[in-house]
Chains A and B, each alone.
Chain A
Amino acid sequence: MAIIEVVDLGKRYGPKVAVDSVSFTVEEGEIFGILGPNGAGKTTTVECVEGMRVPDRGTIRVDGLDPRRDRDELRRRMGVQLQESLLPERLRVWEALDLYSSFYPDPADWRDLLVRLGLEGQRDVEFGKLSGGQKQRLSVALALVGRPRIAVLDELTTGLDPQARRDTWDLVEAVRDSGVTILLVTHFMEEAERLCDRLAVIDAGRVVAIDSPAGLVSRVDGEQRVRFRPSEPIAEQLLRELAEVSDVRSHGGQIVVTGTGNLLHAVTSLLARNQVVAAELRIEQTSLDDAFVELTGRKLSS
């Protein structure tokens, strides 16, 4: 069942069109990603879903509610983690959780959240003294303290180091496993690939594609490359004769075979027939990055 439904959303700021036309649905219990470069309209889209902005056009239903008209009720059911929003510097971690839990009719026990988010050591630390990763985790904790049905996480891991980023991803998966539907805004391909069940690729205010990460990749008929170092010399001509192969190059004892279909199997079978062992074997496939370039005509990351 769809828990979020966005149909033909449009929003402009003065002459600037932030969201041209965006439609998507999010199923209950999934992690749905909104992926796109900076300025694509991702944040404006989720702000309309959160009821923080009034759309110029289109309809939005969230858990059966109209985000503007039923704003009060929506706020009880939706936890939001905003991009770059802070707490008072001197507010302590436990006080923030205690305070925010008092806003909700049936809050989670914030002491449990503290442990789940690995912040029990920071219980009495002031917000201003937390590291970037700790602030981000606290921010997620505050989004969850009201036991929301839906959590909206905007640029969750921006500015985090790789370890903190992976920890945060584990956390998001754990939250989803506890039954919360997650709407995740990101411009990190790796994050989208790792976390999202499905994602909408947004570019210049429009949805370019909606699919699972693997589905998006398969839409792009990309070539694969197989690299290896043969144990004995092998004639390039044998490789070229394979139906799957489109190109073969060798340099410095390493061979790179480009092709489509079940390329790896074709190459390794040939090598086996000729009693050649492939050392340092690697396969490079189309990534979500390539898919993004294909779909939008430009690279996602700067």
Chain B
Amino acid sequence: MLKVIRVEAKLYLREGVMAYFSLLFPTILLLVLGAIPMLRSPDPTFGGLRFIDGYVGTLVVITLGYLGLQRVPTTVATYREKGVLRRLSTTPLHPAKVLTAQLVVNLAAAVTSVVLVVAAGKLVFDIDLPHHPVGFVLATLLGATSLFALGLVIAALAPTARAATGVAGVLFILIMFFGGAYLPRFLLPEAVNTVGRYLPPGVAALQNAWVGTAPEPLHLVIMALITAFAGTVAARTFRWE
């Protein structure tokens, strides 16, 4: 099993620019936005905070969204389409272990990316380290699992790898929008933000755990429920070939 994980990790890094980009993108975005003086000074428009303080939750959403809704469904659907999973099913290794390895590798990528953005935020812009570390770890993990599970549902139901990429792409844009990646959340209408709080990966929980007090338990519970529900659907409907 360790060997399978190691191989999947190697394959991930061999994807080249996109692999490194996905690890570094949130950090780069933070550095670019933070380079604009207006966005790193407290401003009443941003509720008296700095723009970058109000944007940290969204940075995590971008990472998790990319991995869960771009990489996971595309890779898994491609493995099925190309017969990689079918070939494995003739060996003593159950192909489910390859999917598990995929999730482990993507989770590791997510954690790396989040650690980098937290560190860059602290070192460069003196953004506080997460106020509620346990809550932040929980919010990140549950956010990741909820999106990974949704990615697997897409991979399970889509007839082809192309279809999986297409459907996942639409969902990715929605998640990015509600997560405040295109327009910062304090500029979005309240109705949109309300929806965003309950959508995976849970931007509100991430934001609150990082620079607020603590994530609302309800938000975490919802992410856990989404994970359980989507995970079950994916497991029930997944085709190996």
* A contact residues vs B (CB 8 Å cutoff): 50, 52, 72, 75-76, 78, 80, 82, 84-88, 90-91, 95, 98-100, 102-105, 142, 146
| A82 and B86 alpha carbons, distance in the complex (Å) | 9
* B contact residues vs A (CB 8 Å cutoff): 3-4, 7, 10-11, 14-15, 79, 82-84, 86-87, 89-93
Find out whether the CB atom of A100 lies under 8 angstroms from the CB atom of B91: yes
Find out whether the CB atom of A95 lies under 8 angstroms from the CB atom of B87: no
| A146 and B87 alpha carbons, distance in the complex (Å) | 14
Find out whether the CB atom of A87 lies under 8 angstroms from the CB atom of B87: yes
Q: How far is the CB of B199 from chain A (nearest CB, A)?
A: 32
Chain A residues touching B, majority SS: loop
Find out whether the CB atom of B4 lies under 8 angstroms from the CB atom of A99: yes
Find out whether the CB atom of A82 lies under 8 angstroms from the CB atom of B83: yes
Find out whether the CB atom of A95 lies under 8 angstroms from the CB atom of B7: yes
Q: How far is the CB of A188 from chain B (nearest CB, A)?
A: 22
Find out whether the CB atom of A86 lies under 8 angstroms from the CB atom of B3: no
| A80 and B91 alpha carbons, distance in the complex (Å) | 8
Find out whether the CB atom of A90 lies under 8 angstroms from the CB atom of B15: yes
Q: Which of A50, A90, A103 contacts B93 (CB 8 A)?
A: A103
Q: Which of B3, B79, B86, B87 contacts A102 (CB 8 A)?
A: B3
Closest 8 pairs between A and B when the two form their complex, measured CB to CB: A85-B83, A80-B90, A85-B87, A86-B82, A103-B93, A90-B14, A103-B91, A102-B3
| A82 and B91 alpha carbons, distance in the complex (Å) | 12
What is the chain B residue whose CB lies nearest that of A47? B90
| A72 and B86 alpha carbons, distance in the complex (Å) | 15
Q: How far is the CB of B1 from chain A (nearest CB, A)?
A: 9
| A184 and B7 alpha carbons, distance in the complex (Å) | 31
Q: Which residues of B contact A84 (CB under 8 A)?
A: 83
Q: How far is the CB of A2 from chain B (nearest CB, A)?
A: 22
Find out whether the CB atom of A50 lies under 8 angstroms from the CB atom of B90: yes
